[in-house]
Amino acid sequence: MKAQTACGPQHLRALARANEVRLARADLKRRVHAGEVSVAEVILDCGWEVESMTVADLLLAQRRWGTARCRTFLARIPLSETKTVGSMTDRQRRAVAAVLTDGEHAARRFERELQPALV
């Protein structure tokens, strides 16, 4: 006989959790697309709904961001498209947020800071 908890079988709990995450991410993407919240804020805050979400998926939620712009952006950081928000280091979070917020100036500054570490 299988052990069941008060919440039901494990597969049903897993489905419920997956639906909860999907709905939260869909709401977050709508808010990002509408401009209510910025991707930089989401990356710095790193809520439970984005921990396992890829950085590329989050960037693509913005207006006028397609795959080419996303790949170019991530190549400059450098950061993999498949990197999850939850697995980013604090330095990577700050770098992505700074480049998204400050644009070109922050990208050049980050590249200068990164050069000594690469040599």
Average pLDDT over residues 97-111: 71
Q: Report the candidate in 80, 54, 69, 60 with the shortest Cα–Cα distance to residue 103.
A: 69
Condensed to tens digits (0 to 9), the pLDDT of residues 14-30 reads 999 999 999 999 999 99
Q: Are 46 and 64 in contact (CB under 8 A)?
A: no
DSSP H helices, 2-82, are 10-34, 39-45, 55-60, 67-76
Q: Is 99 exposed, middle or buried (0-12, 13-18, 19+ CB in 10 A)?
A: buried
pLDDT band at 104 (very low <50, low <70, confident <90, very high): low
31 pLDDT higher than 50: yes
Out of 1.10.8.50, 1.10.10.1100, 2.40.50.140, 1.50.10.20, which CATH number does the structure's domain 10-118 have? 1.10.8.50
Radius of gyration of the chain (CA): 18
